[in-house]
Structure 1
Amino acid sequence: MVLKEELLPLLDELWYPSESDEPIEFIHVDAADVTLPLTPDSLVKLLSLDPGGRIVEKEPFKFWDGVTTLQDWYDETETERTKRFIRLKEILDNRLTGQQYFEVGEIEVDAYLIGARSEGELAGIKTMIVRT
């Protein structure tokens, strides 16, 4: 199954919780001339980002921290959301190699979780995290 087709049902109406819950998008990038692992500079070029913006690379588990742990006090909606995040993480862990997590910005932070699919092809997910 194509990764995008596998992820889209999970991403539909899945919101990343922060001060402003935001949707999660699938991203796919042709990266034939990109050397891995990515650096902040190569991410800027790859995604046509503002070269003057703040870019921080973090461990991928930081993206999942807080969204993949089921709590006994969750209601049905929160439990279902967490299970979808767990499934999303499983798929990405199985289908992407060399995953990297970048945060771009300071208050409205674009979050990119990207990994390699095959030679010259990168894929992953993107969302926004609002921190005030």
Structure 2
Amino acid sequence: MTDTQIVDQLKAAANGLLMMSESEYPFEVFLWSGAARITPQEVVQRMGHSSDSPIETISVDNFFSAATTDEDWHGDEEKQMVAKFKALVQTIKLNLANPIVYRLGRIEIDVYIIGETPSGALAGLSTKVVET
């Protein structure tokens, strides 16, 4: 699959989804062509954060755990959202090698889900979560 096709699949899977926290933010898809392996420091630099920004790395499953967990109290709408988030996680894992979630900042946290495409580029999604 080409990088363009992967970006299109990520966009389709994220379409209409909002990352829920104390606020709701959409997902944006990105592609970094010609990028080497990514490090936390490189994410900070590429995304324009200060070098002293707090950064945390977590797994894709851990980041999306609340959004992909079915609850007894879920109605039809919540069940549909859980299914959409599960499909997004599957799309990430099927199309990106070694995806990692980078969380930068405090309170208003910028989130970058980054993995490697078959061509060696880096691609993924960005969003924001608010945690007070």
Same fold at TM > 0.5: yes
In the TM superposition, what whole-angstrom CA distance separates every residue of 1:68-126 from its partner, at most 9, and x where no partner exists?
Answer: 11223111221111111100111111111011111001000011110000344111111
In the TM superposition, what whole-angstrom CA distance separates every residue of 1:49-69 from its partner, at most 9, and x where no partner exists?
Answer: 332311111233221111111
Residue 25 of structure 1 corresponds to 28
Contact 1:31 1:46 in 2 (8 A): no
Any unmatched runs of 5+ in structure 1? none
How many Å separate the matches in 2 of 1:70 and 1:56?
26
Identity, in percent, stands at: 28
Residue 49 of structure 2 corresponds to 49
How many residues are matched? 129
Q: How does 1:66-81 map onto structure 2 within 5 Å?
A: 66-81=66-81
TM-score computed with the length of structure 2 as normaliser: 0.87
Any unmatched runs of 5+ in structure 2? none
What is the alpha-carbon root mean square deviation over aligned residues? 1.7
How many Å separate the matches in 2 of 1:61 and 1:80?
18
C-alpha displacement at 1:39, in angstroms?
2.1
How many Å separate the matches in 2 of 1:59 and 1:88?
14
